[in-house]
Chains A and B, each alone.
Chain A
Amino acid sequence: MSVSVSEARAVGGSLDVDRLRADFPILQRPMNGRRLAFLDSAASAQKPQCVIDAERACYEEYYANIHRGVYQLSQRSTQAYEGVRRTVQRFINGADEREVVFVRGATEAINLVAQSFVRPRLQAGDEILITGMEHHANIVPWQMIAEATGARLVVAPVLDDGRLDMDGLRERISTRTRFISVVHVSNTLGTINPVEDIIELAHQQDIPVLVDGAQSAPHMPVDVQAMGADFYVFSAHKTYGPSGAGVLWGRLEHLEAMPPYQGGGDMIRTVSFEETTYAPPPQRFEAGTPNIAGVIAMGVGLEYIEAADREAIVAHEQSLLGYANERLAEIDGLRVIGTAPHKAGVVSFVLDGAHPHDMGTILDMEGVAVRAGHHCTQPLMKRFGVAATVRASFGLYNDREDVDALVDGLKRVREFFG
């Protein structure tokens, strides 16, 4: 099976954004009579034609259930699906393709680790350490197992500029800390956390660490081995792939020691009514028929990012971030939430006298799609004393024209809410 992926878009280390934009059908469609400025890739990214074609080709040309049929269609589907493990392994530089478990998304991956890896290790009084800038998906699964076991959820504080308080984190690692789960890049603040340092600290005390990579996988080179992570998770829909697919990467020794998360077909070795033996990882964690076409298309999304060149993506999105900060400073009464020196392409802000939802509606009418709300980080909103923010986030297809449209839209907001 071969799915054509656009040829490399990076020329001399910089992205050819106009050519990239042409790969995304939705960006060719006007919004309210204007060029669509899609600034919500942190919530979910748009899809290039090659991803859409890959999912379609699977259904049109070779679809069948995997791992069971002896007929050719099943073999082709199985090969395409299993082939994505190598793509993911390369994408995040895993040590072994068996470390790649396909899940529905980062949320399911975290729940899997919480239930299968962490929960059996917890006793009353033990602690799970997270940070104050976690997405609800990296809070609630830990609360659930803490409640079930009598363990405690401990939270490392966030500094006023949106940096993680590393001293605060260090102080909160105790002899009872059994696990640390930390976001790589904050979806609300854009802060890039020093996960290597956190992991090094944790490993000095033999504490395993999960890195929530939902916002890092699409935007920067990721090397899970250099990082030293025990688990790394991300969602395909943010890496320009389809929704309903994602990755749990875990060190093989961990995965091998973990009991299954769900029981069913495809995760067993033998089943009798007296006893069932489980398949080794990754199949052990993939009960039931998975999102076959979704996983295949996810692989194509990852190849698309690789072809675009991740260093070039970083440079491009950093340049956009700088431009956005510069232009947003023109708007009176606008305050950026999250000004850490080391940030990804996310700008959250509030505006005096204008509620984020009203801004969202007015910007939408101007063809600008932003997120308005709490971004599934309510504790972080509370930390910064706001109920909601507007968030503009960049993908590889955004350009300065999108930022200009945002600023023009905010000037329109000012006409209503002066």
Chain B
Amino acid sequence: MSDLRELYQEVILDHNKQPRNFHGIDPHDHEADGYNPLCGDQIHLELRLDDEGRIEDIGFQGQGCAISTASASIMTETLKGHTVEEAKALFDRFHHLVTDDHAEPDPSLGKLGVLAGVRDYPMRVKCATLAWHTLQAALDEKGEITTE
């Protein structure tokens, strides 16, 4: 087991305490609810795409642990200005980072990399990916997802 400081990095604690983009988006054209039935974490995500299919604005609300809150916060911060395809590609790389023990550091993930420590805590991976699964549901117009 790695040190707790690897998991709870300062950036994560900061985003947990002061989540960025923690609000609704008005108007928005995509939204979804994400729910982790195991722990009761829930997130509501709203976003608006511009004419070129880029994420113009994105925000989230809800309640969750430090990992899920920080992950949602950093995700919304990262995604602004990215196309839907780029966002989905980022999710793939992020998912790889937090689930594969042998994943190499991926500089293209930027600040999202601080969540890499989660892979040593399999019970917590869903906390880190809840916001991303919710994003996918919003983009696919599924409305609601649960991480079970």
Contacts and interface: CB of A to CB of B under 8 A. Distances in A.
> Which of B13, B40, B64, B121: most chain A Cβ within 10 A?
B40
A305 interface: no
A362 interface: yes
A172 interface: no
Contacts of A32: 1
A358 B65 contact: yes
Contact of B40 (A353, A354, A374, A417): A374
A416 B40 contact: no
Given A372-B39, A373-B38, A357 B65 contact: yes
B124 interface: yes
Contacts of B121: 361
Interface string B108-128: 000000000000010110010
Interface in A347-399: 353-358, 361-362, 365, 372-374, 378, 381, 387-388
A368 to B, nearest CB: 13
Contact of A361 (B7, B13, B16, B40): B7
B124 A361 contact: yes
B41 A416 contact: no
Interface residues of A, number: 20
A365 B1 contact: yes
B71 to A, nearest CB: 13
Interface of B: 1, 4, 7-8, 13, 16-17, 38-42, 63-67, 69, 121, 123-124, 127
Interface of A: 32, 353-358, 361-362, 365, 372-374, 378, 381, 387-388, 412, 416-417
Among all A-B residue pairs, the 3 with the closest Cβ atoms: A355-B65, A357-B65, A387-B40
Given A353-B17, A358-B67, A373-B38, 9 more contacts: A32-B1, A355-B64, A355-B66, A357-B41, A357-B67, A357-B124, A358-B8, A388-B40, A416-B8
